[in-house]
Structure 1
Amino acid sequence: MGLAFSDMTVEDLLKIVLKLAPQESAVEAIRQGLYYLDSSAMAALLKELAKQGYLKRAVEIFDWLRALEPSHELSSLCDLYTYTTMISQCGSHQQLRRALELVAEMRSRGIDCNVHTYSALMNVCIKANELDLAQDVYKQMLEEGCSPNLVTYNILIDVYVKRCQWEEAVKVLDTLEKQGIQAEVRTYNTVISACNKSGQPEQALRVYEKMLAAGVKPSATTYTALISAYGKKGQVEKALEIFRDMIRRGCERNVITYSSLISACEKAGRWEMALELFSKMHKENCKPNVVTFNSLIAACSHGGHWEKASELFEQMQTQGCKPDSITYCGLITAYERGGQWRRALKAFEQMQAQGCHPDAAVFNSLMEVLWQSGVLLAQAKALQLWTLANRSGHFRIYTNSKQDSTVLQYSTVAFTSGAAVVTVVRWVSELKNKLLKDGPGFFRDKVVFTLHKSKQNRSEQPSSRIFEAVSLLLAGNASPFTMHLFDQTITLEAASGPLTAWLRSAAFNDFVHIQQSQQLKRISLDLLLSEDVAIAARCIEAFSAVKRYEQLFSVNPALCSQALLAQRPQIVHLALKYGAAFNLKDDTIYDALQLFDRVSCCGAPLNVAAWPLMLCSCLLLAARQVESPALWPQLEQVTLLTGFGADVLVAMERNVLMWLGHDISTISPMRVIQLYLERLGHYLPDFKPIDRVTKDLQTLVLKVACSPVVGLRPSLVGAAALLVVRRARGMVPAWPFVLQTMTDYTPSDGELAACVMHMEALMQQ
């Protein structure tokens, strides 16, 4: 460098070392210059080398120095300063053993440790996660009469933070005060962090107030820790107070501050506030990170706003923020709560493509949204995904039986009703395989299956809801299981005799048929989704036509004659008799009854005694409306079968047309039910053999038609009938989510609930 070593500074020596090739010796390069340094300068050189990322060079030089004979002129450079410096550098690489060796070496050379040495060693212990040893070093320091300084106390507080010992951390502040040591902002922040980690926001606030009283200016870290503390306790208003105080004091807000506050809003269910803060964040040019977006997506999920969650997911990618596993978990949960099973599947596929591993909550959410949709293809996909989840370590079914026990016991964990239902279906399928392979003796005297609750998580549902779904499933499929719910645990029990008989029954084969669908095994995810999109569009369009019909042709039961209502069973039975005689389809007969009700409630001057003639006319009009001309009943045939004269029939038809304004449009409940079943996938060839509802639905709708209740909308009658029959048959959910979305009917709706009660009463008759 053109300088004599005597003229060189520490910075000059540092430059020489930094320019060396890897194979060159740092000792040889600067050895002569070391003669002009004292130990303080030597320590500065070693520290700077480590700071610049050349720790190996610092170790090389220091190890050469400490290996010198005591008589060597440079051996004096190994003193308190250099040893302490090199001990402090051990922490960055968790070289605790080396640090302890250096301390022992110091003592052997007669060099006493000072407060800086002990503090450095404590710090190394913390970084190596040896918290007990860190506290032992502190005790030894006190025993040797070495007084701690602020740095020591800060490190001691770090120990208490890691141990979640907030009381001890607060006590350190009291000790500082007694010793007249002024705590710095880092000290207060660390104690606040200790209170935060221990779920003590009130204590964190007291430390904050003490900080202000001491005249120490809070930093962004202070406010963020307080906001986080209140957020974890769900006290979002308190967190917002801290945020407003932060603004009032002119403290700059950063991404961590906003993310903590948005997270607090998410935990408190304040999704609107979370979005307001996100907007404010943008106005302050504070760029959100993945934690921010994750909290926002979770907040929208809790608020039931899957559309906004989806929008945020797109926005974060546009802004170059890469989604992680937590992002996808929140998004899939949002789709689950919105019933968006197709979107949830696409997000799951994207999650896997990104290399993000789904956790138990993701699989539970997927099982839930797929099963609750009610779409047969989606439910079959849920059964497929269960296998993938099981291979990933989730939904493991454990056998807990002892060798000499008379009870065969199984257990698993599932925390959504959809996941529980799918797991039970897979479990009983495996029981059937065991029966075929090992025979009835495998089952011992009794079989018990326990569904446990998991640790608290975002997807978990109440045990009562899971119990209700599994109970409905098993009872409606004639299973021999009895069920119990105790202390959040669901238990299924069955004696082996009735159980093996059920496993061999036709009812069981129907129960598990959906799992054995060969069609689904051949269908790709893209084809499955596109198939459902097409069916959904077609059914939604058809249902819109149903709603338009109901708005145009509403029936006012108050205008119906009480005499006609009293004869309702006879009217329906005669309609069925005439329909059979005319070779009409059942749907046509129900359409005719719709026309008859419209005429009965139109306010026209009717001859009540002539209702058979009016009914016959409605049947003929309905046939001409929906049947092919070749199947229309001939007038001569009708007069022969009914005894009504041709002139009388023609005249009545003319009157009916006039009373109805020449518009004989009809949509019967059975046609609406067929639309509902199509939306659920009952049109698929694989599932037609297990159509367990159509016959029951026809019987129930007939009973409704016979009851003295008219004016019910076809869509409502169809919905209630399907719900009642599915519930009786153990089809979970009884009223699927895709039908709720299409119809806007929910089980809690007053009209639907009343109609369901009416039908359930009819089912008992």
Structure 2
Amino acid sequence: CAITRPREFPWTPHPISSLSPTPDHRRPCRLRDVTQGCRLEAPAEAISAWLGSETAQSVLAAAADLSSSPPEGKAVWTAALIEDLAVEVRCSEAFVAVRRFEEGPGDGARAEVGPLDAPALAMRTAALATARRLAGARAVREDVLHDGVLLLDRVLSSRDARARTLRPDALAAACLAVAAANAGAPLPGAATLDPGLGLTQEALDAAVAAVGAALGAGTNAISALRILKLYMERLGVDLGAGGEDAAAAVGGRALADAHAALESGHLLEVTPSLGAAALLIHARREAGLTPDWPQILVGLTELTLEDPGLQNALGALHGPR
């Protein structure tokens, strides 16, 4: 359970996060600053019992005396509820797109990646290095890079003969180009993409066509990183400028772990939504955040900690690769 309050209260001089768990005012929850405000995190039963206690009422009344200006107080809370509802609707619609992508219409758009044999893993290592270099040189967004690598992994797992004859750097450039085009930020042509690659426009176009052929034209990609950010948004984090601290308060090292998982390939055979959930749960456990998997995300995803797929993803996160 988590309760969010607006970051700025016109009717209270002190943020609720200034409250300390003194012997007289112990609370069974953690206070976390997020972009939308301050979150009280705890098991639902514990926080409900505490909020109904006289101790909690006295502490909260000291921080925000609603009786002094009820109209203003109601306006602030109404605005906060409207904002949270807008976030819920936005995230729910986005997760519908995630489900559609992962379930797939049977045209090759499915998200899963099958086992990679040794030659494919070697090609992936070389292509990933090129993709990282190109993304850095062209200031490609990190989520676009992760989408491109998901395309790369799906192509390699397809065992498409044509795709496997491509040079790793050509395959990397093609997958990144497709992901960037999907995101509405197309990369420049081969001549300016990276002169050091020695890749002609004709060769790049051929590689893009090979990617489309290998995936049956299903070249959409929604990576685990993108879904992880969606989960964080639903938990009240705005990952815009200055959102790193809020992300760490809610998700620990989840974002950094997502980048590490891209390199390790531990989540290769896990669907992105389960991989993102595993990353968030593990990072929250490591950071001592409770609950591991907030109820608000159970509502969004219909996933519980007991889900076999989620347990498999958690096991894969640190498996050998």
TM-score by length of 2: 0.71
Where is the helix percentage greater, Structure 1 or Structure 2?
1
Deviations 1:649-680 (A, max 9, x none): 22222222222233321111121112111111
Residue 289 (structure 2) aligned to one of 731, 739, 742:
731
The alignment partner of 2:95 has SS state of helix
The aligned counterpart of 2:69 is none
User: Deviation of residue 739 (structure 1)?
Assistant: 0.6
Between the two proteins, what is the percent identity of the paired residues? Answer: 24
**Alignment gaps of 5+ in structure 2:** 10-14, 33-44, 48-62, 65-71
Which one of 403, 413, 420 corresponds to residue 28 of structure 2? 420
What is the letter of the counterpart of residue 525 of structure 1? W
Residue 668 (structure 1) aligns with: 223
> How far 1:568 moved relative to its partner?
4.1
Aligned to 1:443: none
CA contact (8 A) 1:569 1:707 kept: no
Once the two structures are superposed, the pairs formed by residues 741-752 of structure 1 within 5 Å of their partners are: 741-752=299-310
Contact kept? 1:692, 1:729, Cα under 8 Å: no
Residue 707 of structure 1: aligned partner? 264
- Taking the aligned partners of 1:559 and 1:619, their CA distance within structure 2 comes to 22
Number of corresponding residues? 274
* Alignment correspondent of 1:544: 96
Instruction: Provide the rounded CA distance (Å) in 1 between the counterparts of 2:201 and 2:242.
Output: 47
State which of 106, 117, 122 in structure 2 corresponds to 1:561.
117
- Please give the alpha-carbon distance, in whole angstroms, between the structure 2 residues aligned to 1:579 and 1:420: 44
- Structure 1: segments with no counterpart, 5+ residues: 1-371, 399-411, 427-458, 462-514
Q: Which residue of 2 aligns with 1:643?
A: 198
Q: Distance in 2 between matches of 1:380 and 1:750?
A: 41
Deviations 1:25-54 (A, max 9, x none): xxxxxxxxxxxxxxxxxxxxxxxxxxxxxx
| Alignment pair present for 1:593 and 2:149 | yes
Which of 161, 175, 179 is the equivalent residue of 1:618? 175
Tell me which residue corresponds to 1:628: 185
1:482-531 deviation line (CA, Å, top 9, x unaligned):
xxxxxxxxxxxxxxxxxxxxxxxxxxxxxxxxx99xxx989633322222
Asked whether the equivalents of residues 124 and 153 of structure 2 are also in contact (C-alpha less than 8 Å), the reply is no
Q: CA deviation at 1:608?
A: 5.5
Q: Is the Cα contact below 8 Å between 1:560 and 1:600 reproduced in 2?
A: yes
Specify the alignment match of 1:116 in structure 2.
Answer: none
Q: Deviation per CA, 1:312-356: give whole Å up to 9, x if none.
A: xxxxxxxxxxxxxxxxxxxxxxxxxxxxxxxxxxxxxxxxxxxxx
Structure label with greater radius of gyration: 1
Seen in structure 2, the aligned counterparts of structure 1 residues 655 and 690 have a Cα distance that, compared at 3 Å, is: closer
Q: 1:380 to 1:760 in 2, by over 3 A?
A: farther
Whole-Å separation in 2 of the counterparts to 1:759 and 1:602:
23
Which residue number corresponds to residue 574 of structure 1?
Answer: 130
Counterpart Cα distance in 1 of 2:151 and 2:241: 36
Seen in structure 2, the aligned counterparts of structure 1 residues 559 and 732 have a Cα distance that, compared at 3 Å, is closer
The 2-side partners of 1:562 and 1:569 are apart by 11
- Residue 524 of structure 1 aligns to a residue whose secondary structure is helix
The residue type equivalent to 1:671 in the other structure is R
Would the alpha carbon gap of residues 730 and 569 (structure 1) be closer, same or farther in structure 2, given more than 3 Å must change? Answer: farther
Aligned residues of 2:103 and 2:111 also touching (Cα < 8 A): no
User: What do the CA deviations read for 1:733-754 (whole angstroms, capped 9, x no partner)?
Assistant: 2321101111122223222223
Which residue number corresponds to residue 233 of structure 2? 678
Report what 1:194 is aligned to: none
Gap change, CA 1:717 and 1:683, over 3 Å in 2? same
Structure 1: how far apart are the matches of 2:115 and 2:22?
61
Q: What residue number does 2:40 align with?
A: none
Equivalent-residue separation in structure 2 for 1:549 and 1:524 (angstroms): 38
Query: 1:282-328 deviations in whole A, cap 9, x for unaligned?
Result: xxxxxxxxxxxxxxxxxxxxxxxxxxxxxxxxxxxxxxxxxxxxxxx
The RMSD of aligned alpha carbons is: 3.9
Find the counterpart in structure 2 of residue 753 from structure 1: 311
Q: Any idea what SS the aligned residue of 2:219 has?
A: coil
- Deviation digits for residues 434-492 of structure 1 (CA, Å, limit 9, x no counterpart): xxxxxxxxxxxxxxxxxxxxxxxxx579xxxxxxxxxxxxxxxxxxxxxxxxxxxxxxx
The alpha-carbon deviation at position 558 of structure 1 amounts to 3.9
Match of residue 720, structure 1, among 261, 271, 278: 278
- Does the Cα contact within 8 Å between 1:376 and 1:682 map onto a contact in 2? no
What is the alpha-carbon distance in structure 1 between the residues aligned to residue 17 and residue 245 of structure 2? 22
Amino acid at match of 1:539: C
Structure 2 distance, partners of 1:610, 1:560, is 17
Deviation at 1:590, TM superposition (A): 0.8
What displacement does 1:687 show?
8.6
Q: Distance between the aligned counterparts of 1:608 and 1:752, measured in 2? A: 35
- Structure number with the bigger relative contact order (C-alpha 8 A, sep ≥ 6) is 2
TM-score (norm 1): 0.32
**Counterpart-to-counterpart distance in 1, 2:208 and 2:16:** 56
Q: SS of the residue aligned with 1:691?
A: helix
What SS does the corresponding residue of 2:29 show, helix, strand or coil? Answer: helix
In structure 1, how many angstroms separate the alpha carbons of the residues matched to 2:136 and 2:223?
Answer: 18
Given the superposition, is the C-alpha separation of residues 714 and 377 from structure 1 closer, same or farther in structure 2, using an over 3 Å criterion? farther
User: How big is the shift at 1:643?
Assistant: 1.6
What pairs up with 1:339-358 in 2 under 5 angstroms? none
* Alignment-derived partner of residue 237 in structure 1: none
Residue aligned with 2:167, SS = helix
**Could you say if the C-alpha distance between residues 599 and 529 of structure 1 is closer, same or farther in structure 2, counting changes exceeding 3 Å?**
same
